[in-house]
Amino acid sequence: MADKPVLFKITNLKQHFPLKKKGLYVKANDGINLDIYDGEVLGLVGESGCGKSTLGRTLLRLYDPTDGKIMYYGRLLTDFAPNYMEDTVKRLPHYKERMLAANKALDQKQAEVDKLTTEEQYKHAEELTELKRKAHSATLDIANIIGGLASLKDLEPVSRVYEKLYQASKLKRSLVLEQRDERVALNDSRYQLENENKDTPAVREQIRTRETALKDLETKIASADSGISAVQQEIEQLRAPHLEDEAFKALDAHWDTGVDLSRLTYDEMRTLRVDMQLIFQDPYSSLNPRMTVGQIISEGMKAHKLFKRQDDQVKESVLKVMDNCGLAPYFLHRYPHQFSGGQRQRIGIARALALHPKFVVCDEAVSALDVSIQSQIINLLQDLKEQENLTYLFITHDLAVVKYISDRIAVMYLGVIVELANTQEIFSCPMHPYTEALLSAIPTADENVKRELVVLEGDIPSPVNSPKGCKFHTRCKYATEICTMVEPEFIEVTPNHFVACHHRLGSVCETEFVASQQGADTAS
């Protein structure tokens, strides 16, 4: 996967829902770090209530995240010019102060803890982890936008040049939106001319005016692009003299041209929603019973102004997406109650794909279907992924289902990801005790596959009062004292295999990897 570009970079994402009783929160997502690559299928697995669906919905900003970052690389910061870009640049000194204060607090605590015995250090582990998270997040806020330039004493020239970049980017964004509206209006006029017998001088004149306006807009967009490039060159000139500086390099590593979804306004997010869609679990309740299939599928196209009205172009697009999803054209005017579960799910998929998104969250998309229909829908999703170059987050509680569609699998427990690796490796070399237990519960008819059943004792603990240290320690047969006090770090054990466990399972893959590294060292 590492050869593919990253589409989402999620850092310390938290989603805490407040309860009526003051000060209590349901910690549905509690510090998630995850990269999703362009064009991959990432399976997200865990028991009910572990926070999988919340993560999918928070990524789409259907919920506002409590904390953390969701960087999206489907659009660039300079194409999108969100308001937070201007806000950060205007408040640079404030952001810098916050970054310095957070890092100072961390350094002081670390120095205190270093003097203690190992036993005593355990007691401060939680506080230290929180300070590390705060310092990291404060650093990201400023360094994402201006990178190493945040280390300079005089931020005034930086602020000035980034203000120019924001203005040029904002202008480009408004021109692109104007261009979209003008295109829709031009298509509408052409439709009137060709199909509504409105071949009048007024309509012809309207078409000519719109064509000229579109050409003007193209020229203006090209000029905004060169404006952006010129400012970027100015930024490079500011950057160049400091490239050897260590502090500069450390901050520059966080410089990022992606868009932080967690900081977008409602309207900004609405514009981006075209890129990101959701397929729901329940094909019965997710379709409006008063709307026909055609209306359901075309609703998003009209809401996002891809077409001006209900005309042949809309119908053509709807029929095309229906065909891609295996729905016959004569279903167009039928209502959801006239279909089976599998067909309804195809309608839900067609609705999600009508806007040609880049990223789709499939939230238990096959769990409510019969097993025979599940494989049809999984095959359909796989075909559509190839055709449309989609990226899926495939959420399910069933490892057997996710095995057939996912490139990588992330295992989630009580709001955190405990293991992440490619699919084949999760099945052959699980390193987290929870993954081991989930795998052992998959029924198999293959006599050659012999797995000892690992029974998980007790229920999943409450996300309101989750256990200290490793959240899994109350149910883990390998737990020791350190597990009850220190939260394990999520680390890369072998290339692209991440796990959060103090006593990860001795796996063949890890041993083989270490041996191969030693062999390579000896050879060199």
Residues that bind ligand SF4 (CB under 6 A): 432-433, 470, 472-473, 476, 478-479, 483, 488, 501-503
Residue with Cβ nearer ligand SF4 (5 or 458): 458
As measured in angstroms, the least distance from the Cβ of 496 to ligand SF4 is: 20
Smallest separation (angstroms) from ligand SF4 to the CB of 493: 12
Nearer to ligand SF4 (CB atom), residue 96 or residue 504: 504
Nearest distance in Å: CB 36, ligand SF4: 24
In terms of CB distance, is 463 or 488 closer to ligand SF4?
488
Give the CA radius of gyration of the chain.
26
CB of 43 to ligand SF4, least distance (A): 20
User: Which lies closer to ligand SF4 via its Cβ, residue 371 or residue 455?
Assistant: 455
Question: Measured from the CB atom, is 51 or 469 closer to ligand SF4?
Answer: 469
CB of 31 to ligand SF4, least distance (A): 15
Query: Angle 156-195/312-324 helices, nearest 10 degrees?
Result: 100
Residues in a beta bridge with 70: 10
Report in angstroms how near the CB of residue 292 gets to ligand SF4 at its nearest. Answer: 51
Residue placing its CB nearer to ligand SF4 in the complex, 175 or 485: 485
- Pairwise CA distance, residues 56 & 453, whole Å: 30
Nearest distance from residue 120's CB to ligand SF4, in Å? 20
* DSSP-derived 3-state class of residue 294: helix
Please state the closest distance from residue 148 (CB atom) to ligand SF4, in A. Answer: 36
Question: Toward ligand SF4, which CB reaches closer, 76 or 505?
Answer: 505
> Whole-number minimum distance, CB 135 to ligand SF4, in Å?
24
DSSP 261: G
Contacts of 452 (CB under 8 A, 6+ apart): 440
Comparison of 344 and 504: residue with beta carbon closer to ligand SF4: 504
Residues in the chain: 524
Q: Which is nearer to ligand SF4, 50 or 321 (CB)?
A: 50
What is the rounded distance in angstroms from the CA atom of residue 276 to the CA atom of residue 302? 16
Shortest spacing between CB 284 and ligand SF4, in angstroms: 38
CA 323 – CA 294 distance, rounded (Å): 12
Q: Which is nearer to ligand SF4, 40 or 436 (CB)?
A: 436
Between vectors from CA 277 to CA 271 and to CA 283, what angle results, nearest 5°?
140
Q: Coil, helix or strand for 392?
A: strand
31 versus 147: smaller Cβ distance to ligand SF4:
31
Going by the DSSP 8-state scheme, the letter that residue 497 receives in this structure is E
Residue 421 structure tokens: 């690796």
Q: SS in 3 state form for 300-337?
A: HHHHCCCCCCCCHHHHHHHHHHHHHCCCCHHHCCCCHH
Compute the half-sphere exposure of residue 396: CA atoms within 13 Å on the CB side of its CA.
24
CA 210/CA 182 separation, integer angstroms: 7
Give dist(CA 429, CA 421) in Å, integer: 9
CB of 466 to ligand SF4, least distance (A): 13
Nearer to ligand SF4 by Cβ, of 98 and 473: the residue is 473
Scored b (16 or more CB within 10 A) or e, 168-198 reads bbbbbbebeebbeebeebbbbbbbbbeeeee
For residues 231 and 249, give the distance between their C-alpha atoms in angstroms, rounded to a whole number. Answer: 21
What single string gives the DSSP state of each residue in 103-163? HHHHHHHHHHHHTS-HHHHHHHHHHHHHHHHHHHHHHHHHHHHHGGGGG-S--HHHHHHHH
Instruction: Give φ, ψ of 261 to 5 degrees.
Output: -60, -30
Q: Which residue carries 């490892």 as its tokens?
A: 399
Given the complex with ligand SF4, which of 280 and 490 has the nearer CB atom? 490
CB of 298 to ligand SF4, least distance (A): 49
* Local structure of 259: helix, strand or coil: strand
For the chain, what is the largest distance between any 2 Cα atoms, rounded to a whole number of angstroms?
89
Among 413, 415, 402, 318, smallest CA distance to 363 is for 402
The DSSP line for 232-248 is HHHHHHHHGGGTT-HHH
Q: How far is the CB of 74 from ligand SF4 (least distance, A)?
A: 35
The answer for residues whose C-beta is within 8 angstroms of residue 371's C-beta and 6 or more apart is none
Identify each DSSP E strand in 135-284 by its residue range. Answer: 259-260, 276-279
